[in-house]
Amino acid sequence: MKRKVLALLLPFLMPLASLSAEPLKIGYSDWPGWVAWEIGIKKGWFKEEGVETEFVWMDYVKSMEAYAAGKLDAVCVTNGDALVTGATGKPSVAILLNDFSNGNDMIVAKPGIDSFKAMKGKTVALEEGFVEHLLLLKGLEMNGMAEGDITIKNTPTNNTPQVFASGEVDAIAAWQPNSGQALKLVPGSKPVFSSKDAPGLIYDGLFCDMASVKSRRPEWLKVVKVWYRIVAYMEDEKNLDEALAILAERVGVKPAEYEPLLEGTKILSPAAALKVWEKADGLGSIYGSTKVVDDFNVKFGVYKEPLDIAAYLDPTLTKEVLAK
């Protein structure tokens, strides 16, 4: 009888016993640079490298909330949003950079609005305080416009295509595949500003819990290693069809629709990544870019005090993996 009770209880006790070897929990969302993780997941490369990971597919902002709540060990975010999450929720440190946005973040305007300047007095739906907001502010700055020239409607990025299709707003700011959907839903609409106009403003990376990086460094190194396997795999045109099938399925579009997105997200090759990790001013370096974003965030009151940027960036893991 006792044994029976124990046997019944065992499944409930198991999670407690295995608590020490919990997998690394990583939140990722629909940005093409992060969807690429799916290749490593589907091909079982994490197991091959000997690291237990659990990738959690979420909406972008929700993944940041989950990270800030301490439910994730790492989260895929842009360098700017890592600062925002750090200032308002929980700090993190980047151990690898996936890509920089090269056009996939865009402001899409409805037919009749042909340039960013023509957006004066119009309304834009975007997720306030996050990466697309930054893009809009950058656009305003580059076009010599003031913050009040455009009215913002706070909208979750995943809902922007529907909001745009409803005709309630004049434009939206979103990343692919959302922005592409918006373009398709509203015939005649076009992008008036995109991250291609400010390359290096938006870097996308894996931002981890600082304590976890310290205590489980060997495991995080393996995660970085898998990422560069994915990069090498994607660089080979032979693998393109298989890769597209995996990526497109994750976000729910057809491979043919996904292929153009690869252009707008510049995955960093090992050499390019090492260059970006060099300390320098300007958007060519992650340090310079993050500094620019930090200034922006303070200027526009996303948070009050400038942050210690160096604490958010840890190039050592990438360098260690790529040095081999």
# residues near another protein by CB under 8 A: 40
To the nearest whole angstrom, how small is the minimum distance from the Cβ of residue 62 to another protein? Answer: 8
Which residue stretch of 125-133, 145-153, 177-185, 220-228 sits at the interface with another protein (rule: CB under 8 A)? 177-185
| Cα dihedral across residues 171, 174, 176, 181: positive or negative | negative
Q: Residue 129 interacts with another protein (CB under 8 A)? A: no
Which residue in 11, 144, 187, 301 binds another protein (CB under 8 A)?
Answer: 187
DSSP state of 306: P
**Residue 24 per-residue DSSP state:** E
Q: Least Å distance between CB 279 and another protein?
A: 35
Kindly state the smallest distance separating residue 310's Cβ from another protein, in Å.
29
DSSP character for 313? B
Taking the complex as a whole, how short is the minimal distance between the CB of residue 185 and another protein, in angstroms? Answer: 7
Told to check if 194 binds another protein by CB under 8 A, we report no
Rounded least distance, CB 56 to another protein, Å = 7
Q: Are 40 and 227 in contact (CB under 8 A)?
A: yes
Q: Please say whether the beta carbons of 105 and 202 come within 8 A.
A: yes
Q: How far is CA 165 from the centre of its chain?
A: 25
Task: Report d(CA 244, CA 313) in Å as an integer.
Answer: 30
Owner of token pair 């700090």: 91
**Which of residues 40, 80, 129, 161 is near another protein by CB under 8 A?**
161
Q: Which residue from 114, 241, 281, 295 is in contact with another protein, where contact means CB under 8 A?
A: 241
**Shortest distance, position 275 Cβ to another protein, whole Å:** 27
Strands 265-267 and 105-109 come out as unpaired
Q: Which of 43, 49, 65, 303 binds another protein (CB under 8 A)?
A: 65
86 binds another protein (CB under 8 A): no
Q: In whole angstroms, what is the distance from residue 148 CA to residue 52 CA?
A: 48
Is residue 90 at the binding interface for another protein, with CB under 8 A as the rule?
A: no
Q: 293 is written with which tokens?
A: 């974003």
- Please count the CA atoms within 13 angstroms of the CA of 185 that sit on its side-chain side: 19
Q: Residue written as tokens 């310290």? A: 214
Q: Is 153 exposed, middle or buried (0-12, 13-18, 19+ CB in 10 A)?
A: middle
- The nearer residue to another protein, 5 or 256, going by C-beta atoms, is 256
Binding piece for another protein, criterion CB under 8 A, among 75-83, 121-129, 139-147, 158-166: 158-166
| Dist CA 61 CA 30 (whole Å) | 11
Question: Under the criterion CB under 8 A, does residue 253 sit at the interface with another protein?
Answer: yes
Residue 260 binds another protein (CB under 8 A): yes
Q: Is 123 in the site for another protein (CB under 8 A)?
A: no
Query: Half-sphere exposure (CA, 13 Å, Cβ side) for 141?
Result: 13
Whether residue 11 is preceded by a cis peptide bond, meaning omega within 30 degrees of 0, is: no
Over the window 36 to 55, marking each residue x when it contacts another protein by CB under 8 A and - when it does not, the resulting string is --x--xx-------------
Give the integer Cα–Cα distance in Å for 58 and 4: 40
Beta-bridge mates of residue 204: 78, 99
In the bound state with another protein, the residue whose beta carbon lies nearer, of 77 and 97, is: 77
Smallest distance from another protein to CB 158, Å = 6
State in angstroms the smallest separation of the CB of 19 from another protein.
14
> Which parts of this chain interact with another protein (CB under 8 A)?
38, 41-42, 56-58, 62, 65-66, 69-71, 158-159, 161-162, 165, 180-181, 183-185, 187-188, 190-191, 237, 240-241, 245, 249-254, 256-257, 259-260
